[in-house]
Structure 1
């Protein structure tokens, strides 16, 4: 009996981890260019209180993403993505109602919603839930997304379409289609939930963040990547992050894509083993 108890797999609540992830990301301070407890970063239309309301509106939906993954577990990947979209849109609408139209967490809803949906699918099939299985599930669900939604469209109407055609950047879609490869390769091997600033710097060092490109072009993205690399290489202290925050605010740069991936890292890190 003792042996059976010892090998019983632990229960992982990905929906709860997703909510945790949003709170952890918000409360991390200082957070260069981003909304935190000290300031609004490079955002004129957002503050800490707005993010609190946004998270409160979003969080109940994570269980619904999980439930949908269970309900549609036996459908094909392409069918499931189509079934998932209305839930994602409804969650976004709940966010926008809470924030009076400000997009605080659209990227987080997309990424964390996919992870919760994948977790529900795995649970329904009796499969193990861990970082690798979640990554694989999300990648499978999103296969072909970049080609369908970026490469094959010629309108170049959205920021994502423009960046893909101009710079080859795939943004949040590419991350999801890769199974969050940036997190899997550059954060999880060093995962430490008590060193979230370090994890964020690791992300900013390598992430081709579309938010930065929207605000500062490729030069703005490279500035943040190089700045992060230098801090990681020489070692950093609290005041270095305060100064980095000032520099990014002065340049109107906000690494929002890396903030979203930090939330993904919290979920996958919680499922690592």
Structure 2
């Protein structure tokens, strides 16, 4: 097999996929209002980070997403992807002064970027749903990889007995395939602006996800409250309803008062945007 067939993701596609991953994280950062989360206008429920912190992290991660594209296109095993992820986390912490801005995204978005590149070995783009399922190629290795028991997310996961993002990845990200992507596609197809569609999708995710960030910050009661409030927002029409923006801003104030931040849902939102946009690359 010649070199062209061995590397079916062209240099142009590789660069575009990597840039699209970073751009998707920037889209999530720029989105407002977002209850409890960092935006360009405020720090939400966070005292140790702001939009500038996130921008430093994104700049540090640009090489990671380029490298993970090449690894996926080359059919690399999970051990190689994991090494890239560990190096990316170290780069993030150096750039942010040891503040965790994107650990979840390094894992999930990194896997999805690698899977998108792997799908393109056939020379054809893949749907977002196909890319999610393609992550299952690494399921066995992924589930066998060691976890950091001292991370806040893993402590919350163990304490409350809920599945984490690793289980989502091993199952081919069913929350993305069956919830986030259909919600985002439907909102855009119905004529909502990008901002409104993303906010609607974020609240749909918060209403359904066992968000480890919420569990870490607010325990089971905090998670239940956040999910209930998000579900009520969606039941009342979400971003399709008149006056949705001020209602979401008020809800954001309540999240901040409780020091709650749905960071896991925000990571999935960035992944959803990447999955949708990569279909055209």
TM-score, length-normalised on structure 1? 0.85
Deviation at 1:232, TM superposition (A): 0.9
- What are structure 1's unaligned runs of at least 5 residues? 1-10
2:101 is the alignment partner of 1:104: yes
Does structure 2 retain, via aligned residues, the 8 Å contact 1:45–1:102?
yes
Question: Where do residues 123-142 of structure 1 align in structure 2 (5 Å cutoff)?
Answer: 123-126=120-123, 128-142=125-139
Does structure 1 retain, via aligned residues, the 8 Å contact 2:157–2:212?
no
1:17–1:252 CA distance, 2 compared to 1 (3 A): same
Considering only aligned residues, what root-mean-square deviation do their CA atoms show, in Å?
A: 2.2
1:189 aligns to what?
182
- Provide, for residues 172-226 of structure 1, a one-character-per-residue CA deviation record: whole Å limited to 9, x for no partner: 2122112221121112113237111111111111011000000101111111111
Aligned pairs, how many? 253
2:34 aligns to what?
31
2:221 is the alignment partner of 1:219: yes
Does structure 2 retain, via aligned residues, the 8 Å contact 1:14–1:115?
no
Does structure 1 retain, via aligned residues, the 8 Å contact 2:36–2:255?
yes
Deviation at 1:145, TM superposition (A): 3.8
1:91–1:149 CA distance, 2 compared to 1 (3 A): closer
- Provide, for residues 103-158 of structure 1, a one-character-per-residue CA deviation record: whole Å limited to 9, x for no partner: 111111111111121122222344542212211111221346446647xxxx9544
Measure, in 2, the Cα distance between the counterparts of 1:32 and 1:55.
21
Deviation at 1:62, TM superposition (A): 0.9
1:4 aligns to what?
none
2:255 is the alignment partner of 1:248: yes
Does structure 1 retain, via aligned residues, the 8 Å contact 2:21–2:274?
yes
SS state of the match for residue 276, structure 2?
helix
TM-score, length-normalised on structure 2? 0.83
Deviation at 1:238, TM superposition (A): 0.9
- Provide, for residues 39-86 of structure 1, a one-character-per-residue CA deviation record: whole Å limited to 9, x for no partner: 101111000111111111112321110011122x1x6xxxx1111111
Deviation at 1:170, TM superposition (A): 2.0
1:204 aligns to what?
206
2:113 is the alignment partner of 1:116: yes
1:67–1:96 CA distance, 2 compared to 1 (3 A): same
Deviation at 1:272, TM superposition (A): 5.2
